[in-house]
């Protein structure tokens, strides 16, 4: 079965956590990873969009839960259903480290770093704390109930991207110049002046 980015993120997250994970914890951790990745890159890691539902940020159409259940039915992750203290069912997911390592091949180094950093920062927190933290994120704070969350690029990351882009353009021009010199294609000042007059 070819994995989608959402499915691969679920498997990596579960394998990195290395324990049985409550459905709510999984959803919020994937959201936090996506929000962080969006702040840095202007897009989500999984390709998902999010909405403010009754319990905080959630993927539109409850996509994370649906994908986790599909993975469980395909025996790519494990799932157990047990009674909760609130009288309803608690869904728990887990997987092996080997399965997680296979899923890592779907991601770039930067994406892997965000997934691992998310687990490192928030993985040991209680479900209540993770839910509370997800509700403190800027997209959630700036939305109203049942609205789609407007994830945003962090201005500092945007400024850094612009500098990197400018540096890449400079380096491209510099490389062309070095190549021209190596091939003996030199431009003197008279030729530059003529070119400038033609463009003016």
pLDDT digits (tens, 9 = 90+) for 140-197: 999 999 999 999 887 765 565 556 565 666 556 555 655 565 566 666 666 656 766 6
Domain ranges of the chain: 5-152, 156-199
- pLDDT reported for residue 89: 86
User: How deeply is 85 buried, as exposed, middle or buried, from its count of CB atoms within 10 A (0-12, 13-18, 19+)?
Assistant: exposed
Provide the 10 A C-beta neighbour count for residue 13.
Answer: 26
Residue-averaged pLDDT of the chain:
86
The answer to whether the CB of 48 falls within 8 A of the CB of 64 is yes
* pTM of the predicted model as reported, rounded to 2 decimal places: 0.77
Cβ atoms of residues 79 and 91 within 8 Å: yes
Q: Cβ(72)–Cβ(93) under 8 Å?
A: yes
Token pair 């539109």 in the structure block, residue: 60
Q: For 57-97, what is each residue's pLDDT tens digit? A: 999 999 999 999 999 999 999 999 988 777 788 999 999 88
What tokens appear for 152 in the block? 């945003």
Are 105 and 9 contacting, i.e. CB atoms less than 8 angstroms apart? no
Looking at 42-96, list the stretches that DSSP marks H as alpha helix, in order from N- to C-terminal side.
Answer: 63-73
Question: Which token pair is 84?
Answer: 């909760």
Nearest 5°: CA angle at 80, between 74 and 82? 150
* Alpha-carbon span 49 to 43, nearest angstrom: 10
Q: Residue 55: what pLDDT? A: 87
């Amino acid at each position: 079965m070819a994995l989608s980015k959402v499915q691969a993120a679920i498997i990596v997250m579960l394998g990195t956590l290395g324990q049985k994970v409550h459905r709510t914890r999984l959803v919020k951790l994937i959201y936090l990873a996506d929000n962080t990745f969006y702040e840095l890159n202007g897009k989500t890691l999984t390709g998902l969009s999010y909405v403010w539902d009754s319990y905080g940020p959630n993927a539109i159409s409850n996509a994370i839960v649906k994908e986790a259940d599909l993975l469980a039915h395909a025996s790519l992750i494990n799932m157990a259903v047990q009674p909760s203290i609130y009288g309803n069912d608690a869904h728990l997911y887990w997987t092996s480290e080997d399965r997680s390592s296979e899923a890592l091949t779907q991601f770039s180094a930067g994406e892997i770093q965000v997934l691992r950093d998310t687990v490192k920062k928030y993985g040991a927190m209680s479900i209540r704390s993770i839910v509370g933290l997800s509700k403190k994120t800027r997209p959630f704070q700036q939305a109203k109930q049942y609205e789609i969350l407007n994830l945003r690029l962090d201005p500092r990351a945007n400024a850094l991207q612009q500098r990197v882009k400018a540096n890449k353009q400079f380096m491209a021009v510099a490389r062309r110049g070095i190549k021209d010199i190596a091939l003996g294609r030199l431009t003197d000042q008279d030729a530059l002046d003529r070119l400038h007059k033609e463009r003016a």
